[in-house]
Amino acid sequence: MDKSFYMGEAQRAHVDRHFSQADLAGSHFFASSIKSPEELLIFINSNPPAEVIAQSKTRFAFRFQSNDNRAIGTCGLALRSSLSDDQIKPQVRDGFTIDIGFVDELPDTSQFCVIADETPEGFSVITAFPGGYARPFARKDQPANEYAINKQFWEQHVLLKATSTKP
């Protein structure tokens, strides 16, 4: 790729919660693999993505794989159908009411996604998280077809939260 990834302060703060706030539902990077948003930027600017998914004309999802295929974090996303109804509870996150699946522990993953907007300066990182590609939360201000796809994705998936922590 010809353009570099970069992060503003607001994006850095958002991405940082996938490093330091393991009490939140969703995916988290292991401190032993990628320690900070700054280290993440170094990695993604030095390694090609395994896959690029266009979300819109200017927004892309970049899926990366760890260099040695070792786990770089935990995957905090699962199919709703893989959990029982009593494991799933609604919670508010970033102004959205979403369903959280409570599990004993989150599965490890060797891949992560970076969502970024293409700008004249490069790719502005919106968020980054361990695990496979996940659609954005459905918002009424999205184009109708995008809203429908995102709504369907989140009707079929839940964020995960561990009920215990790994040693």
Q: Where are the domains of the chain?
A: 5-161
For residues 39 and 32, give the distance between their C-alpha atoms in angstroms, rounded to a whole number. 11
With a pLDDT cut of 70, the percent of the chain lying above it is 96
Segment 96-115 shows an average pLDDT of: 92
The single-letter code of the amino acid at 94 is: D
Torsions phi, psi of 9, nearest 5?
-60, -40
Kindly tell me if the per-residue pLDDT of 163 is higher than 90.
Answer: no
157-162 and 77-79 beta bridge pairing = antiparallel
DSSP 3-state of 164: coil
pLDDT in tens, 61-103: 999 999 888 999 999 999 999 999 999 999 887 777 889 999 9
> Which pLDDT belongs to residue 167?
43
Contact indicator for 153, 135 with CB cutoff of 8 Å: yes
pLDDT band at residue 1 using 50, 70 and 90 as cut-offs? low
Both tokens assigned to 66: 């760890």
Question: Between these two residues, 2 and 78, which has the higher pLDDT value?
Answer: 78
**Is the model's pLDDT at 162 over the cut of 80?**
yes
**pLDDT confidence band for 22 (50 / 70 / 90):** low
Residues 103-114 as b or e (16 or more Cβ within 10 Å = b): beebeebbbbbb
